Structure 1
């Protein structure tokens, strides 16, 4: 019996996919009237909706694929926003690939993250440099590796915008795991001691898929909870600071992608 591997089938990375995103969104590809933003913000928090409405974005249903929606500004096709597609790497990967098929080339992954480091607290902005590949999706696109890197150019552009706005932030590594209820203290402490600042559920998968397609993606997190807080997981009691952080992160992403 051969030793188990992941993916289970040998040589998978050299084989073509049976289902491709361009086939799923085929009905859009010949529509010249359709707005196809080159830059996309991917969001996960429900509170994004009023923030987008306040910034002049409107929701377009059935786009980028028949069962999804995109937020666009009237008369400004530079940036689109997608949200409400759930949490975790598998769902994010599907949306990401559909958007790449539509022609998007620059992405900012925007969402909440849990803190591992003691000096990162609720509402802080964390610009991800690389993500530990502890989810399953990325391994179907590329051979195993410990980390996946964010786009250095796009990450630098986000950092530049944050500095120009004189907004505090930290840069560092992230742990991506898609099993929310299987995060253990032992691994969290080990990754913290390795220098990992935060934990999320999508980033490393998107970083690997972006490299596969030759597009750019960076991740900007707002800390909403602390995985190693006191004796157990601790969530913020001051959501106003977290929501303010998310609003700032959204503005930073929009400014960076439209500059």
Structure 2
């Protein structure tokens, strides 16, 4: 990167020099996996804290893949600065726990919206403001999932929570299951709120790494099993397929000031 390139203040992303479509993941090692094992002609363009960004091609289409870390506060920085850099479509590809026994380990859930229990977005807009995926991104994710016959996938609402381990207040897992919420993770609702405020498109698909009610019963969480690993690879391919489908149709980011 030359000295004349203007970069974002925290993630050091080059402004105005990135593809419009991006896949974001939590783990920097997962971003590296995508870049080295799935994409072609990839190169690291920024590595600051948990934010590692790679530029590369997927099926001939130039994309960016970037890690956002765990949790909403840090992830919001990644999302905001990608938008500042010129990205107009962001797809989160993450892992989640399932509330529905039909979607066990290795299944894929495409999130049309997210319950806002993230602990971050209420500082941006009132809780009555919905966290919704862009319909074009949801459609592209569904279309991509359909091309993989081996994928068991569902489409619906998930919940985003700000903590991973429960405390004395317990959890709302049974409530969400009764409410037909499919899965639980930690970043999607923040992405959806920021995307709505800034005028870009966003979506999220998650690989299921545990069935919540079995995990509560056994008190075991084993996200590193082969079935989960294979599900993650399929999910990443779906996210990359969807992101590449949407290239050339991205809206202009509005970068609205909500202060």
Shorter-chain TM-score tier: 0.7 to 0.9
Say if 2:32 is the partner of 1:38.
Answer: no
**Runs of 5+ consecutive residues of structure 2 not aligned to the other structure:** 1-6, 246-259
Say if 2:158 is the partner of 1:174.
Answer: yes
Q: Give the structure 1 partner of residue 226 of structure 2.
A: 240
TM-score by length of 2: 0.79
Q: Which secondary structure state, in structure 1, belongs to the residue aligned with residue 176 of structure 2?
A: helix
Q: Give the structure 2 partner of residue 254 of structure 1.
A: 240
Cα separation, partners in 2 of 1:189 and 1:57, compared to 1, 3 Å: farther
Q: Deviations over 1:39-76 (max 9, x none)?
A: 1111124345334302225342436x798431111696
Which structure's CA Rg is the greater one?
1
Q: Give the structure 2 partner of residue 130 of structure 1.
A: 113
Q: Deviations over 1:86-121 (max 9, x none)?
A: 201111110000000011010110111011122220
Q: Give the structure 2 partner of residue 204 of structure 1.
A: 189
TM-score by length of 1: 0.79
Q: Give the structure 2 partner of residue 222 of structure 1.
A: 207
**Runs of 5+ consecutive residues of structure 1 not aligned to the other structure:** 1-20
Aligned mate of 2:46, from 58, 62, 66: 62
Question: Does the 8 A contact of 1:132 with 1:204 survive in 2?
Answer: yes
Q: Distance in 2 between matches of 1:117 and 1:69?
A: 33
Q: How many residues align?
A: 233
The Cα shift of 1:142 comes to 1.5
Say if 2:93 is the partner of 1:113.
Answer: no
Q: Distance in 1 between matches of 2:50 and 2:101?
A: 41
